[in-house]
Amino acid sequence: MTGPAERVETEFAETFGGKPEGRWWAPGRVNLIGEHTDYNDGFVLPLALEQGVAAAARPVDRPVLRVRSVQQEGTVELALAEIAPDTVSGWSAYVAGVAWALREAGHDVPGLEVVVDGDIPAGAGLSSSAALECAVAVAWNDLAGLDLSRDDLAAAAQRAENDVVGAPTGGMDQMASLHGRSGHAVFLDMRSLRAEQVPFDPPAAGLTLLVIDTRAPHAHVDGEYAERRRSCTQAAEILGVPALRDVSLDGLDDALARLGDGAEGDLLRMRVRHVVTENARVLDVVGALRSGDDPRVIGPALTASHASMRDDFEITVPEVDTAVAAALEAGAHGARMTGGGFGGCVLALVEADAVEAVLRAVEAAYEKAGFRAPSTFVATASDGARKL
């Protein structure tokens, strides 16, 4: 089977002629647990996927960026000096943005000819954008001999997305793409931005981590996201803490009692309960994985995370609830929606020999409910961005 990593060299020759100086790769990611905790300075536990973006690149003498994507029309050419937040748009802004961010950080980056090619399912929330940024960032880092740390590369990729593309996303995706490791998940403290790789290898334990892309149409996502963030900020202000991360599980009841009366207080209580219990679940899961426990033990935490997103944070939709319920019914150890919500993917941790049964169960439940058939794949915890 040929994938992006193989195709990209041929595409490079067809686009620019000759051979690239090298090929680089950066993975997409899926979040195992820790949802809507990132902007509360909390904890997340993504893993880098097998799917990602390949970049074939060659430095050029002139200070220009020439970039082509196998997934898009045409080749884009930009003068490096002219790349700025208000001068680029569209998909090439993710690539140009990396050059801008590296230059802003004081690094000299050479002109570049680059072809990118990815295999991350579109619109599933598996972070093709970070994979694209990180593939190009590691390429430039090597070609310019910058010798930047993974954290610095993640920061540059995030700046590209925040400042040049204009998407107000946190740093989880880029950190996961750069710090991923085969057989491990990446535990991130979103306050300190420290990354720790914790062992997570379902296949070695006879398990499969299934990703069920519900393909549910996303609606009102931006507005709902902003509303959840506002509620969290408001609750933290009432509680007098910098962020909800500072409310411990032990202090939760106390905190909930101080959130005021009426419907507004009730709403804030639900939101805070999700964030505080979700952070605690991430730490529980990390604790179990760190001590080498059987990965099956994390199943209940995954399922509890889903219930919390459904009942307290109210970010699920019938498609994801149906997939989770059907997977659990068919014997999954745990299942939850992953990603920001209102659609997207469901993760299910299942015995390898129960995968077929779980898939049949989800398909049957979808057919009964009249939902469009989901697409599914296996998540394999993979290495982070690298030269191929």
| Site for ligand ADP, rule CB under 6 A | 53, 69, 71-72, 91, 94, 116, 118, 125-129, 132
Minimum CB distance to Mg ion smaller for 128 or for 376: 128
Q: Is 306 annotated as a binding residue?
A: no
Nearest-approach distance from CB 366 to ligand ADP, in angstroms: 22
Active site residue 173: yes
Q: Which does 277 bind (CB under 5 to 8 A by kind): ligand ADP, Mg ion, none?
A: none
Q: Is 92 annotated as a binding residue?
A: no
Catalytic residue among 173, 213, 312, 321: 173
Nearest-approach distance from CB 169 to ligand ADP, in angstroms: 7
> Judged by CB under 5 A, does residue 174 bind Mg ion?
no
Nearest-approach distance from CB 352 to ligand ADP, in angstroms: 27
Q: Is 237 annotated as a binding residue?
A: no
Q: Which does 10 bind (CB under 5 to 8 A by kind): Mg ion, ligand ADP, none?
A: none
Minimum CB distance to Mg ion smaller for 20 or for 118: 118
Q: Is 35 annotated as a binding residue?
A: yes
Nearest-approach distance from CB 124 to Mg ion, in angstroms: 10
Q: What angle do CA 244, 314, 249 make, to 5 degrees?
A: 30
Nearest-approach distance from CB 94 to ligand ADP, in angstroms: 5
Minimum CB distance to ligand ADP smaller for 127 or for 380: 127
Q: Is 128 annotated as a binding residue?
A: yes
Minimum CB distance to ligand ADP smaller for 90 or for 300: 90
Q: Which does 53 bind (CB under 5 to 8 A by kind): ligand ADP, Mg ion, none?
A: ligand ADP
Could you tell me how many residues make up the chain?
388
Number of residues that bind Mg ion (CB under 5 A): 2
Distance (Å, whole) CA 93 – CA 100: 10
**Binding string, 119-158, against Mg ion, x = CB under 5 A?**
--------x-x-----------------------------
Q: Is 37 annotated as a binding residue?
A: yes
Answer for the pair 154, 188: CB distance below 8 angstroms, yes or no: no
Minimum CB distance to ligand ADP smaller for 128 or for 338: 128
Can you give the chain as a three-state secondary structure string?
A: CCCHHHHHHHHHHHHHCCCCCEEEEEEEEEECCCCCCHHHCCEECEEEEEEEEEEEEEEECCCEEEEEECCCCCEEEEEHHHCCCCCCCCCHHHHHHHHHHHHHCCCCCCEEEEEEEECCCCCCCCCHHHHHHHHHHHHHHHHCCCCCCHHHHHHHHHHHHHHHHCCCCCCHHHHHHHHCCCCEEEEEECCCCEEEEEECCHHHHCEEEEEEECCCCCCCHHHHHHHHHHHHHHHHHHHCCCCHHHCCCCCHHHHHHCCCCHHHHHHHHHHHHHHHHHHHHHHHHHHHHHCCCCHHHHHHHHHHHHHHHHHCCCCCCHHHHHHHHHHHHCCCCEEEEECCCCCCEEEEEEEHHHHHHHHHHHHHHHHHHCCCCCEEEEECCCCCCEEC
Residue list, annotated binding site for ATP: 69, 123-129
Q: Could you tell me which residues are annotated as the binding site for substrate?
A: 35-38, 225
Question: Which residues carry a binding-site annotation for Mg(2+)?
Answer: 129, 161
Annotated binding site: 35-38, 69, 123-129, 161, 225
Known catalytic residues? 173
